Structure 1
Amino acid sequence: MNAVELNAITDWLIDGARSAASPSLMMAESCERMVAAGLPLWRVGVFIRTLHPEIFGRNFIWKQGAAEVEVGTVDFEIQETPGFKRSPLSLVFSEGLEVRGDPNGPEAERFPFLVDLRNEGATDYLALPLHFLDNTFHAMTLTTRQPGGFTDEQVAVLRSMAKPLTRITEIITLRRTASMLLDTYVGNRAGERIMGGQIRRGHAETMQAVIWLSDLRGFTALSDRLPAETVVQILNQYFDCQVAAIRAHGGEVLKFMGDGLLAVFPIDEYVGDASQVCSRVLEAARESRASVEALSIPVGEVIERFRFGVALHVGHILYGNIGGGNRLDFTCIGRAVNLAARLEKITGRLGRTVVASESFVGVCNAGWTELGEFPIAGFSEAQRVYGLAEEMPVVMA
């Protein structure tokens, strides 16, 4: 092994692996440098547990000769699978143990995964804990095809290399975790702005957007007659019916307010894409309507069915940080948001699922019917309201 090259790898990692623009490239370059320094690596895996509501962890797999690093995710259910329970990774994650196994030895009885490695010609397997500063354990696995497996000297070097690799991996993971949490709780665009430094009260910008405001019909009565746990289950499934459609069509969910949902679809005024954005919003509304209509949840002996209302409006909003002291909310405010909120209340009175303002209909002329002019609280003039011609009004009992 070349000690000078190995020291250079350590220095490169400590300096932030600056020549690698992404985690997968950093891993590929690390492995290739170690091989060039004389370490007989055939397969290397890095497994990182994540702070994410749906994803248990991410994995990065490098194989000698492969075109690129394989990147994947696993959900929380993997922890209950027999394969994971009998995997060396379960010991690394839960107890921070180092695990070494000979694919051709008795360890293959304990860890069936080693049989798969043996079938591919592996001669040794080493799983090392990556110990983060918060006392969580992540893992790196190293496999070789070298006859006789890793030497004691090579194992010692791999252990020493794991330390700087742990630190750079933790930094990358923390940045990714912060980004994912912001995406989860405030939305993608808002998260990008916060990560970019817009963290002070008053940091805001004016933008043109379609405003989407919706709520669930009969939610108060529903909350009164059902257990709180059931109501939460219903709300989660109900929001699923909208969020997927909103995001798929370019919108960002900013806020959940009880059974209410506020989303925005930004419009780039410079390229004049208002018509396209509004068309996508209308398609999202139709998809959400179909999903909510198809939603049925058994509660005892009763099958609960649901209806909702959504108001669509185009206008300028102030988008940014609002709050008091060090407790801020990244949201949108303005006359356009107020009008959308008032229009949403009209959906229930008219028995409509989708209503739109005159400004939205003026941009997206797609089979609307005028429902009349209505006085709007807080507005000096009555507002024309439109509904989809394809919808028949339904009065809730």
Structure 2
Amino acid sequence: MSSFLNKAGTAVEAGEGVWPVRRRRILDWLVNETRGERFIDNILVEMCEKLLASGVPVARATLHFRMNHPQWIGARILWKEGLAEAKINTFAYGIENTPEFLKSPVNAIHQGAEEVRKRLEDTADDEDSFYQELRDDGLTEYIAWPVEHTFGKRHVATFSTSRPGGFTNEHVDFLRDLLPALTLVSEIRLKNIMARTLLQTYVGPHASEQILSGVTTRGSGATVGAAIMICDLRDFTEISDLWPRDDVIHLLNDYFDAMSDPIERYGGEILKFMGDGLLAIFPLSKDTACHDLLQAIREGQALMAQLNQQYAGNGREPLRYGVGVHVGDVMYGNIGSRRRLDFTVIGPAVNVASRLETLTKEVKRPVLLSRAFVEMADCAKDMDSLGTFPLRGLGEPVDVFAFPER
């Protein structure tokens, strides 16, 4: 079969229309040539650039995804003509109840609409602020379609143009035909993101990377040096017996926010929450690990003081806690049954930190540190020496230090 060159210099088989060939080329790229690209925002940018090169006048495109995230209900990936990178915006829970969202085309798609199409040139008197923003950007038409992932998960793709008169029927057909391939490509990336997010949420960033890289067999792991911190809330049994359930959950969340945020901000990794306690490590691969742990504790104490002020204003007793700190080698890896594993740390160093946390009840000081940690952190001059204490289950007594009393 003979061929000819179109305006872009691309060979087109005689008897075939230009649009089907261009569409097939982008479809082939989506299905076969994006497997090496991890991020859907980069794929969106390149797809829009290919659309423009193929003669489809896309000036703006977005992908809206629902997310399984503890903070965000969803995210929007936005591309505009001339942008080398897409912009990503996250949206907190509650936005789905706002008037702006309820009357948005994205909500219409989530409610079951198969298409939302708006000719912006023809609705100059439209009072909807969203469409007015598009019009102010010089856009002439907006189209939104559902992106149907498995198990009924519905997301949204939108395309806009600044072409006078909007999209032609050929343009719309071109874009609509890309949706199945875009759906497959986006679902793979979104599930990868969700898997990573869920693992980070439940086991922490480093452990999640280990698991995703294949460290999933029982007993797998490594010995690492770490500064170890164990924190526990005092009188929680009494609180949980006397307080309403929802109040107890709210209290725990407030307490964990105060203690956890500084740990993560200074590079620590929270390995687990244990009822009203937590276990965190600061790997010694970072030179400032011990200093970072101390800063995290100090900031956590300040946040707890603020929280207790709020509680006092509501007539509640202040929250008390104990923190034990030690340093040493730990076994970091998978432990558990054949079918249920926990990615955590174990070893004598963890036991010392746990015993020091328990000792805080006896000596009435909220933060206790071992001599080994204090010497490594070079902070003995800034601490109170409390003497030597035998710790249950440990052979040798431990020299114990505490934060100075104010």
Give the alignment's TM-score, normalised by structure 1.
0.93
Structure 2 counterpart of 1:138, one-letter code:
H
Pick from 296, 302, 313 the counterpart of residue 326 of structure 2: 313
Q: Distance in 2 between matches of 1:145 and 1:383?
A: 73
Tell me the residue number matched to 2:152: 135
Q: Distance in 1 between matches of 2:199 and 2:314?
A: 40
Q: Does 1:195 align with 2:207?
A: no
| C-alpha distance 235-266 of structure 1, shift in aligned 2 (>3 A) | same
Aligned residue for 1:34, secondary structure, equals: helix
Tell me the residue number matched to 2:132: 115
Unaligned runs of 5+ in 2: 1-17
Spell out, residue by residue over 1:225-277, the C-alpha distance to the aligned partner (whole angstroms, 9 max, x if none): 21122111100000000111000111011111111110011111xxxx54x21
Pick from 387, 393, 400 the counterpart of residue 372 of structure 1: 387
Spell out, residue by residue over 1:77-130, the C-alpha distance to the aligned partner (whole angstroms, 9 max, x if none): 211221111110001123252111111335974854112111222111100110
Pick from 40, 54, 58 the counterpart of residue 57 of structure 2: 40
Question: Which moved further from structure 2: 100-109 or 202-211?
Answer: 100-109
| C-alpha distance 177-107 of structure 1, shift in aligned 2 (>3 A) | farther
1:300 is displaced (CA, Å) by: 11
Structure 1 counterpart of 2:322, one-letter code:
G
| C-alpha distance 79-110 of structure 1, shift in aligned 2 (>3 A) | farther
Contact 1:292/1:308, CA 8 A, preserved across alignment = no
Contact 2:41/2:77, CA 8 A, preserved across alignment = yes
Q: Map 1:277-296 onto structure 2 (within 5 A).
A: 277-296=289-308
Q: Map 1:1-397 onto structure 2 (within 5 A).
A: 2-15=19-32, 17-18=34-35, 20=37, 22-106=39-123, 109=126, 111-268=128-285, 273-274=286-287, 276-296=288-308, 298=311, 302-366=315-379, 367-388=382-403, 390-391=404-405
| C-alpha distance 371-299 of structure 1, shift in aligned 2 (>3 A) | closer
1:2 is displaced (CA, Å) by: 4.2
Contact 1:45/1:60, CA 8 A, preserved across alignment = yes
| C-alpha distance 130-103 of structure 1, shift in aligned 2 (>3 A) | same
Q: Distance in 2 between matches of 1:71 and 1:267?
A: 34
Q: Distance in 2 between matches of 1:112 and 1:382?
A: 70
Contact 1:310/1:354, CA 8 A, preserved across alignment = yes
Structure 2 counterpart of 1:136, one-letter code:
K
* Cα RMSD after superposing both structures: 1.8
Give the alignment's TM-score, normalised by structure 2.
0.91
Structure 1 counterpart of 2:336, one-letter code:
G
1:67 is displaced (CA, Å) by: 3.6
| C-alpha distance 46-312 of structure 1, shift in aligned 2 (>3 A) | same
Q: Distance in 2 between matches of 1:326 and 1:110?
A: 57
| C-alpha distance 277-263 of structure 1, shift in aligned 2 (>3 A) | same
Aligned residue for 1:11, secondary structure, equals: helix
Contact 2:39/2:189, CA 8 A, preserved across alignment = no
Spell out, residue by residue over 1:111-150, the C-alpha distance to the aligned partner (whole angstroms, 9 max, x if none): 5411211122211110011000121110111001111111
1:3 is displaced (CA, Å) by: 3.2
Q: Distance in 1 between matches of 2:360 and 2:347?
A: 21
Structure 1 counterpart of 2:341, one-letter code:
L
Unaligned runs of 5+ in 1: 393-397
Q: Distance in 2 between matches of 1:37 and 1:288?
A: 56
| C-alpha distance 301-283 of structure 1, shift in aligned 2 (>3 A) | closer
Structure 2 counterpart of 1:188, one-letter code:
P
Q: Distance in 1 between matches of 2:249 and 2:36?
A: 47
Contact 1:208/1:316, CA 8 A, preserved across alignment = yes
Contact 1:86/1:112, CA 8 A, preserved across alignment = no
Q: Distance in 2 between matches of 1:261 and 1:80?
A: 34
Q: Distance in 2 between matches of 1:74 and 1:181?
A: 17
% identical aligned pairs: 39
1:302 is displaced (CA, Å) by: 2.1
Contact 2:30/2:182, CA 8 A, preserved across alignment = yes
Aligned residue for 1:40, secondary structure, equals: coil
1:299 is displaced (CA, Å) by: 9.5
Structure 1 counterpart of 2:332, one-letter code:
Y
1:20 is displaced (CA, Å) by: 4.2
Structure 2 counterpart of 1:232, one-letter code:
I
Tell me the residue number matched to 1:395: none
Spell out, residue by residue over 1:161-205, the C-alpha distance to the aligned partner (whole angstroms, 9 max, x if none): 111011110000000000000000011000000010111111111
